[in-house]
Amino acid sequence: MRKKTLGRFALAAVLFASATGPALALDYEAKPIMWCIQAPFRTVGAVTGAAICGGISGPIDDGYHWFLKGTQHVAGKFGDEEGAGQIAAAVPIGGSVGLVLGSAHGVYRGFFHGWKKGWEKPFSRWSYITMEER
């Protein structure tokens, strides 16, 4: 029973591939057809990129950098950005605020970055991290 079902799926995949072949072979006039073929893949790439980048990598990246900036800013206000005492006193004040605000900003920025890069290059590593391409 399973062999018959597997054979049916394999045959359906071959027929699907042979049906899309002529559409892919069309010249420049086939831009709307190519867009229709690529749209589902691009949509799924954009959704997964926005979810991963906006939910994980964006908050981690921006939270970390804003934590450092907040700590340095408050330590500078205490007198010395490089002083160990000033940094220790600045971490609970500037670091925690920077971490929370940076994480919130990272969700926002990461969502749109992941959506844009996921649409342009579906399932690429650039759609899942907040770094820009080199």
Identify whether 55 is part of a domain.
yes
Identify whether 24 is part of a domain.
no
Identify whether 6 is part of a domain.
no
From CA 61, how far away is CA 55, in angstroms rounded? 11
Identify whether 97 is part of a domain.
yes
Per-residue pLDDT tens digits for 70-94: 999 999 999 888 888 899 999 999 9
pLDDT along the chain (134 residues), means of 10: 72 72 60 79 91 91 93 91 88 93 93 91 85 65
Three-state secondary structure string covering 64-100 = HHHHHHHHHHHHHHHCCCCCHHHHHHHHHHHHHHHHH
**pTM score, whole prediction:** 0.67
Domain count, the chain: 1
**59, 108 contact by CB (below 8 A):** no
Identify whether 115 is part of a domain.
yes
Q: According to the model, what pLDDT value does residue 26 have?
A: 57
From CA 66, how far away is CA 63, in angstroms rounded? 5
Identify whether 1 is part of a domain.
no
Q: According to the model, what pLDDT value does residue 21 have?
A: 64
Identify whether 26 is part of a domain.
no
Q: According to the model, what pLDDT value does residue 82 have?
A: 85
Q: According to the model, what pLDDT value does residue 39 have?
A: 85
From CA 90, how far away is CA 96, in angstroms rounded? 9
State which residues form the domain around 132.
43-134
Identify whether 36 is part of a domain.
no
